[in-house]
Structure 1
Amino acid sequence: MASDIYLDANATSPVLPSAIAAAVEAMEAQFGNPSSSHATGLRARRILDTTRARARRVLGAGPGRVLFTSGATEGIQTAVLSALVAVRERRAAGEDCGDLLVYGATEHKAVSESLAHWNRLLGTGLTLLALPVDAAGRHRLDVLRDLAPRAAMVCTMAANNETGAISDLDGIARVLRESGSKAYWMVDCVQALGKLPLDLANTRIDYAPFSGHKLHAPKGIGILYVRDGAPYTPLMIGGGQEGGQRSGTENMAGIAALGAVLAALEEGTTFRGHAELAAMRDRLAATLRDAFPAIVFNAPFEHTLPTTLNFAVPGVSSKDLLDLFDAAGVRVSAGSACSAAKAAPSYVLDAMGLPLWRSGGAVRLSIGPLADDAFVDAACARIRHCGEALRASRFKDGSPGVMQVSGDGRYGWIVFDATTCVVIDPPRDQLERIAALARDAGLRVLDVDVADHATVELDDGSHAPCIVIGGAVLARLPDGWLLGDADAGHLRRTAVRHVFGAVDAGRLARVAHDGAVICHGADVDGLAWATPRARDGGTAGQLHQDTLDVFLRRHEDALLVDVREAFEAAAGPMVLHGRAARNVPLSRLAEHVAGWLAEPARPIVFVCRSGNRSAKAATLLRRAGHAQAWTVVGGLALA
């Protein structure tokens, strides 16, 4: 498999070599507790003090507090707690301090959820209100101007993690100042470190959380800046560390590593500057346009970080794009890594007013300030390869063929040959994708409702209108379709290969045999398709990475099947333990099941990227009656 091209730096970043060395040194030689008064402890204390001093200089913290935390989420929690405790105390003293908690509509969910959490626990009874953004992802200052006099706290971010949109912090500060607002102001600076100039002491910002792993430090270490004079309530009390402001023995390995990153920022030659990064971003964008000519970028470059590209391709889902890139060894994401497991449109892009196909089909590509020209060259070459793979026909192996499309909780089916296709019961939200699939493959979509079809005789003596496709006939019944090979105008039940729709069971037994594959319009017992003789239950046999090689050597006749989509296989063919896998996409499985069932003793080993699709394939085949269907747990990702 090709080496990774990691383009997901906004999610996390590889640790800087000097940071790794500093962490190892802190664990091996400087392992003391910085609270100890002996020499070993004092050496650890020096690491703590040196790193804090560097952080002050890099952040422009002035007399403000600089605390080490476990990361941005802890910093956000601490800032919100501190502000709301102060609001409660001011209110108890009779002071008017506002009734709104205002947060940017595109903020990380850690912000809105922290506000709701502490507002409830502290009983402050404030109203949470999302500050809208414009089409570029920047806060609506006109709306903030109306809300500011009532705001108890305002939470915005320096730059958005999904789109890279840079906030107009000077404009926000001006609105707060001119409105006379006494609101506490937190700015999420996670994406700002190393990418935007920072001079926090000369701003109105009260709280600014940072996370080390976004800029080549390890996970589990962060910084919270608190403006001098801003209220502060410790989130954790106990041992009195951090001057009593954040108890718990310090993460000295993480702090030492963060100190190495801060030292590199101060030194100024390790990380790329804004102009260099912008030039790299422009090269990547140009390559993406060449690879995917219909691409749309979701945020204007003039208002975004030079490290971030957020885009969508009409007719191609974000899942398909992610699978395509991943197959080629290119690591990108669909948005925030913290919510990547949730299959939903981006709330960030929704807040910007973008149409559903863009918010639901978005992909984020992000580089870090360590990127260089050689890395971008390699990334561009891999992106071009992805474009070529996507343009490869998804209907390439077999005529006629059957493909499943899923959406709205339902299944539709495409029956096709080399030139034409018929679409049966397509889910409404898949119409655009189906049209793109047919267009890319050069297929003409036949109208199934035309009146002048030929007819074919069925075994129950009835005649059904039919469409001839790829030498087979697709016969239309009142409640479904039959696909099979006709002989002299007669489609015998033994020649029916596929049944689509909810054909009446009594009639089904008269017109199709029990080996036909029944393709459902919705899940039936968790299945997209089955055979009339399908067994209840039955789960995939599991092969783990450490047993796969032995299994394949023991079963030389085993068929290794790659169930990724055809464009994924084109982007990165699968070879495991010296054996090339045959590509049969999960969406095309119903087309091949009859042939596999004809060899019940031959092991069929399914593999995919993560093990999810292969488990579905093996379960489907086992329930159809094949006892030797297996899935490779963890898939290619763990191979």
Structure 2
Amino acid sequence: MINLPTSLMQPLSLIYLDANATTQVLPQAATAALATMETFFGNPSSSHITGLQAKQIIDETRQQAKNIIGAGDGKVIFTSGATEGIQTAILSALYNAKKTIDSSKKHCLLYGATEHKAVPESLKHWNEILEINAELKAIPVNEIGQLDMDFIAKEVPNALMICTMAVNNETGVYQDINLLDQTIRANNKNTLWMVDCVQALGKTDLNLANTSIDYAPFSGHKLYAPKGIGFMYVKQNAPFTAFIAGGGQESGLRSGTENLPGLAALNVIFCMLKGESENTFTPLKTLHLFRQQIAAALTQAFPKIVFNHSFENSVPTTINFAIPGFSSKEIMDLFDAANLRVSSGSACSSKVTRSFVLDAMRLPVWQSESAIRMSFGPAMTQQQIDDACIRIVFAAQALGQNCLTIDTNVIADKAELEGLLQFKVGGSCSWLYIDKKTKSAIFIDPLPELTDRLQIMLSCQGLNLVAVIDTHGHGDHQSCRESLADDYFAQQQTDVLGWPINSKTTTIHGKHYPYIVLGDKWLIKVDTPGHTNDSISLLLCDPVNASTDELVVHYGFCGDLILMDSLGRTNFSTSSAAAMFTSLQLLKALIGTESLICPSHDYNNEFTTSITAEISRNSLLAQVMANDINIEQFSVQKTSLDTHIVDQSGSEIMCGALMGDYQKVSVREYNSRSLVKALEQPNNIRLIDLREPYEYALGHDKNFENNVPLTRLVEFVQQHKHNKQQQLVLICRSGSRSQLAAQALLRLGFEHVGHLRGGYALHQY
């Protein structure tokens, strides 16, 4: 690896709190694995001494595993990990069921609604492959994550298999195995039962032989062993079908040459669990104290924090929480900047914005969308916990410095805001413009999720909110305009969208337009019906020169009139395609083709656009702007386009008729080596860090000032639109934000833009 310039980075020690996703391999385990690779490397199937030494490692590890989980007369089979164990258990159970199934009865397959996705997906797969065609049914859970015993009692008589988990990977909630056992067997003595024990190892006591559990998979990498090694418990006389056939290893139950280094490492972990090593794990009682300490630090840092599970029925090594007003990504980025590793829910579902586990527990949507998981293992030490708690409070202070929380300890060091800020919730946008000199602000298309954040920002910055205005009546979300108006200017008289009544007017091109003053800028209201009959556009511009009738527009907030790669839909009851045609031509006449357009939706993370940028890919808009189409022809084409709009997931109303498949712009990518080489050349490359100010403050030297967070990217475009030839390289945490921003800049005409592939995450510092 080649280091990036040191002026960019301020290293912080790593604190890892994502053990439920995976763990580091402990030095003792790594040493055992390495010794096995170098010395005891024989094939356990060989009969010579080297092979016998290897076989001894397997036998010792197997016996240790049986003792740890209380396997009794049951079998322990070594696998590549939990997923293989799950496949083997389900295949074994369903293949056995197929041989004895009563086709006259209606059968089902039961699994916990909060089960890891590997379970229902595997059930679905083998149910189809084996042509069993049983109905898959999710067992509901209550608000604290406990399985519904009444549901099980009702459904299990017809179940060919039931799958539950001992400890949930997102919340740490554990199930009452004894109660489950009684409920299942009281209603069906023969159904096969698998329990996912991956998160239970080392955190709860297990005695599987004293239960009627048939199968239980485990994974080594969740408890300080290498990836690629796991094992599964199979109850004596439980049906078994080999998932991997071949050379007959594992007594013919799982073929393939054994992972000897992994087994040697696993053996060391078992010795530590049993207290047979000089290096032992932290006792359960102390782990509970660790959780209390972290929870207290989180509550100090974020007084409004909500914990998403009860500590009474969850293992002490998992804490799942949400912070009102912040998305999970924002908190993850905050902690990541402080070199504190956490996750948003399950690592196996990292691209999913909601937690299906918390949804199943019927928690409020915002908690599911904003969930953060902190998890640690039994190797955690008191010093690491102390350091983590200090880092949590330290990270939260960065939010206070950037006016995202009220922290009286850092209020004097707050960073002052000015210009245009873009806030996004899903595909919806709100826009806040601040005039620094007059300490005045205006909020456009206000989203309710941003109410608290705005109020804190206004208070922290000492801003005067001049107006809160919607560009139209929104059909896809609630506006918080009225509640904000009541709080900040209850006496102000406005129209239904929040525009102040009796505002001044100016004349442009012979027509009168109302405006309000915002420092040295004007905000002009223009009626632009079409998407809805009440739609308006707001133009932030320099004061109109009365003698020249000249209009210099910096930003056009046009709601859903023009969206990125789209025009607003016109098939609402209050829509009019004909009116939209007229509005589009009026907007061009007022703002020209280069002024930045700031819509109320951004479905493809393109941030902003202009008429020039849009007509290159939107043929219908291009025809309107070139007068190549009349109002009747436009109405016909627009109506046809709107018939193809599909609202997402059956719930989110799409406000634009997309012109076609979204095409990403190709971006030049740098790695650390090529970037360092480029910076050595006399080509005046400008590095831009795209992380939000609170992230940036936690991880950077103060001498480096080129910070342009995504919330300020549109402002950056406006400020540099006359210098699109400059060479820019964008940098962020993971490379995802920098890639999106680079694509946006290139689409808007910036000629030389690249980004650091993989961001800081893949480059040493």
**TM-score using structure 1 length:** 0.93
Partner Cα distance (1:491, 1:349) in 2: 60
> Residue 442 of structure 2 aligns to which amino acid in structure 1?
V
Show the counterpart of 1:114.
Answer: 122
Partner Cα distance (1:539, 1:237) in 2: 46
1:367 to 353, 376, 386: 376
Secondary structure in structure 2 of the residue aligned to 1:582 = coil
Partner Cα distance (1:60, 1:206) in 2: 13
Show the counterpart of 1:99.
Answer: 107
- Contact 2:170 2:345 (C-alpha < 8 Å) held by counterparts: yes
Show the counterpart of 1:167.
Answer: 175
Show the counterpart of 1:466.
Answer: 515
- Contact 1:474 1:484 (C-alpha < 8 Å) held by counterparts: yes
> Residue 63 of structure 1 aligns to which amino acid in structure 2?
D
Partner Cα distance (1:546, 1:88) in 2: 58
Partner Cα distance (2:83, 2:502) in 1: 63
Deviations 1:22-75 (A, max 9, x none): 111111111111001111111111111111111111111111110000000100
Deviations 1:498-523 (A, max 9, x none): 11113744333433354422223345
Partner Cα distance (2:18, 2:509) in 1: 59
**Is 1:560 paired with 2:687?**
yes
Secondary structure in structure 1 of the residue aligned to 2:468 = coil
**Is 1:356 paired with 2:413?**
no
Show the counterpart of 2:69.
Answer: 59
Partner Cα distance (1:440, 1:143) in 2: 48
Alpha-carbon shift at residue 91 of structure 1 (Å): 2.4
- Contact 2:542 2:551 (C-alpha < 8 Å) held by counterparts: no
Alpha-carbon shift at residue 211 of structure 1 (Å): 0.2
Alpha-carbon shift at residue 226 of structure 1 (Å): 0.4
Partner Cα distance (2:149, 2:698) in 1: 45
Change (3 A) 1:493 1:235: farther
Show the counterpart of 2:622.
Answer: none
**Is 1:422 paired with 2:442?**
yes
Secondary structure in structure 2 of the residue aligned to 1:477 = strand
What is the correspondence of 1:389-538 to structure 2 with a 5 Å cutoff?
Answer: 389-393=398-402, 400-417=418-435, 419-426=439-446, 430-442=447-459, 443=463, 445=465, 446-448=467-469, 449-452=498-501, 454-457=503-506, 459-479=508-528, 480-486=537-543, 493=550, 495-501=552-558, 502=561, 504-523=583-602, 527-534=606-613, 536=616
Partner Cα distance (1:13, 1:210) in 2: 14
- Unaligned residue ranges in structure 2 (runs of 5+): 1-10, 405-413, 470-497, 529-536, 563-582, 617-663
Partner Cα distance (2:137, 2:603) in 1: 43
- Unaligned residue ranges in structure 1 (runs of 5+): none
**Is 1:630 paired with 2:754?**
yes
> Residue 736 of structure 2 aligns to which amino acid in structure 1?
N
- Contact 2:427 2:603 (C-alpha < 8 Å) held by counterparts: no
Deviations 1:413-467 (A, max 9, x none): 22234554333234xxx42125423434425652332443533525423332223
Change (3 A) 1:277 1:538: closer
Question: Which shows bigger deviation, 51-60 or 388-397?
Answer: 388-397
> Residue 46 of structure 1 aligns to which amino acid in structure 2?
Q
- Contact 1:456 1:490 (C-alpha < 8 Å) held by counterparts: no
- Contact 2:402 2:415 (C-alpha < 8 Å) held by counterparts: no
Question: Which shows bigger deviation, 323-332 or 560-569?
Answer: 560-569
Deviations 1:469-519 (A, max 9, x none): 243221111121111221677996553211111374433343335442222
Show the counterpart of 2:283.
Answer: 273
Alpha-carbon shift at residue 555 of structure 1 (Å): 4.2
> Residue 423 of structure 2 aligns to which amino acid in structure 1?
V
Alpha-carbon shift at residue 148 of structure 1 (Å): 2.6
- Contact 1:291 1:384 (C-alpha < 8 Å) held by counterparts: yes
Secondary structure in structure 2 of the residue aligned to 1:210 = strand
Change (3 A) 1:631 1:574: farther
Change (3 A) 1:409 1:450: closer
> Residue 21 of structure 2 aligns to which amino acid in structure 1?
A
Partner Cα distance (1:512, 1:227) in 2: 74
Question: Which shows bigger deviation, 564-573 or 406-415?
Answer: 406-415
- Contact 2:444 2:468 (C-alpha < 8 Å) held by counterparts: no
Question: Which shows bigger deviation, 297-306 or 175-184?
Answer: 175-184
Change (3 A) 1:493 1:77: farther
Partner Cα distance (2:146, 2:689) in 1: 44
- Contact 1:68 1:221 (C-alpha < 8 Å) held by counterparts: yes
> Residue 509 of structure 2 aligns to which amino acid in structure 1?
D
What is the correspondence of 1:155-304 to structure 2 with a 5 Å cutoff?
Answer: 155-267=163-275, 270-304=280-314
Secondary structure in structure 1 of the residue aligned to 2:429 = strand
CA RMSD of aligned residues (A): 2.5
1:331 to 326, 341, 346: 341
- Contact 2:216 2:234 (C-alpha < 8 Å) held by counterparts: yes
Change (3 A) 1:370 1:491: farther
Change (3 A) 1:519 1:555: farther
Question: Which shows bigger deviation, 391-400 or 257-266?
Answer: 391-400
What is the correspondence of 1:38-57 to structure 2 with a 5 Å cutoff?
Answer: 38-57=48-67
- Contact 1:30 1:43 (C-alpha < 8 Å) held by counterparts: yes
Secondary structure in structure 2 of the residue aligned to 1:529 = coil
Question: Which shows bigger deviation, 326-335 or 622-631?
Answer: 622-631
Partner Cα distance (1:67, 1:490) in 2: 88
Alpha-carbon shift at residue 179 of structure 1 (Å): 2.6
> Residue 111 of structure 2 aligns to which amino acid in structure 1?
Y
Question: Which shows bigger deviation, 296-305 or 379-388?
Answer: 379-388
> Residue 687 of structure 2 aligns to which amino acid in structure 1?
L
Deviations 1:74-106 (A, max 9, x none): 0011111111122122226x9x99822111110
Alpha-carbon shift at residue 373 of structure 1 (Å): 1.1
Secondary structure in structure 2 of the residue aligned to 1:498 = strand
Show the counterpart of 2:711.
Answer: 587
- Contact 2:545 2:551 (C-alpha < 8 Å) held by counterparts: no
2:674 to 514, 537, 547: 547
Question: Which shows bigger deviation, 566-575 or 621-630?
Answer: 566-575
Partner Cα distance (2:121, 2:603) in 1: 38
Partner Cα distance (2:423, 2:202) in 1: 44
Change (3 A) 1:291 1:556: farther
Question: Which shows bigger deviation, 590-599 or 305-314?
Answer: 590-599
Alpha-carbon shift at residue 533 of structure 1 (Å): 4.3
Question: Which shows bigger deviation, 536-545 or 72-81?
Answer: 536-545
Partner Cα distance (1:602, 1:282) in 2: 52
Change (3 A) 1:518 1:12: same
Count of aligned residue pairs for this structure pair: 630
Show the counterpart of 1:598.
Answer: 722
- Contact 2:506 2:515 (C-alpha < 8 Å) held by counterparts: no
Change (3 A) 1:571 1:482: same
Alpha-carbon shift at residue 400 of structure 1 (Å): 4.7
**TM-score using structure 2 length:** 0.78
Question: Which shows bigger deviation, 121-130 or 59-68?
Answer: 121-130
Partner Cα distance (1:452, 1:347) in 2: 47
1:381 to 363, 372, 390: 390
Partner Cα distance (1:524, 1:407) in 2: 10
Alpha-carbon shift at residue 570 of structure 1 (Å): 2.7
> Residue 739 of structure 2 aligns to which amino acid in structure 1?
A
Alpha-carbon shift at residue 2 of structure 1 (Å): 1.1
> Residue 101 of structure 2 aligns to which amino acid in structure 1?
R
Question: Which shows bigger deviation, 247-256 or 158-167?
Answer: 247-256
> Residue 636 of structure 1 aligns to which amino acid in structure 2?
Y
- Contact 1:522 1:528 (C-alpha < 8 Å) held by counterparts: no
Alpha-carbon shift at residue 199 of structure 1 (Å): 1.2
Partner Cα distance (2:507, 2:139) in 1: 64
- Contact 1:614 1:632 (C-alpha < 8 Å) held by counterparts: yes
> Residue 229 of structure 2 aligns to which amino acid in structure 1?
I
Partner Cα distance (1:300, 1:65) in 2: 35
- Contact 2:401 2:415 (C-alpha < 8 Å) held by counterparts: no
Alpha-carbon shift at residue 153 of structure 1 (Å): 1.4
